[in-house]
Amino acid sequence: MRAARLVRALLWPRARVIECDGGATSLLEAWRGEPVVVVVDAMSSGSPAGTVRRLDAARGPLHADLFRGSTHGLGLAEAVEMARALDQLPPSLVVFGIEGTDFSLGTRLSYPVECGVREAALLISEELLAVRT
């Protein structure tokens, strides 16, 4: 949610930013009909906290184990594959994963994760501005 709010502050009104609970059906509904979609989610790959990875989900499957920190019934990787199977995958779907540390509900962001969120927001803003021009 923090990354979405930062992107909104940087790009409003040039981009529509949606905060989503991350459930598979909510994600599919949010990106339905959109030509360019960027999703931000917590990631758990073993990299240092705050590491940001850009993944092109339109080109191929996401590794579900990267997003296992999800508290949702179906994670982001499953939502992407469901959209792909239903032929509802946006033409451009980029995922920015931010390496987390503690995935407990209500836990505050650590300093390295907050830095990763800010980095991701800047990268997303640059990418979306490049698409729009």
Query: So where are the chain's domains?
Result: 2-132
- For 93, residues 6+ apart whose C-beta sits below 8 A from its C-beta are 31, 37, 38, 39, 56, 57, 58, 80, 83
Cα separation, 118 vs 113, whole angstroms = 9
Output the pTM of the full model.
0.90
Q: Each residue of 95-124: pLDDT tens digit?
A: 999 999 888 888 899 999 999 999 999 999
Q: What's domain 2-132's superfamily in CATH?
A: HybD-like (3.40.50.1450)
Q: Each residue of 22-77: pLDDT tens digit?
A: 778 889 999 999 999 999 999 999 999 999 999 999 999 988 778 764 454 678 88
Count other Cβ atoms within 10 Å, centred on residue 79: 27
Percent of the chain with pLDDT over 90: 65
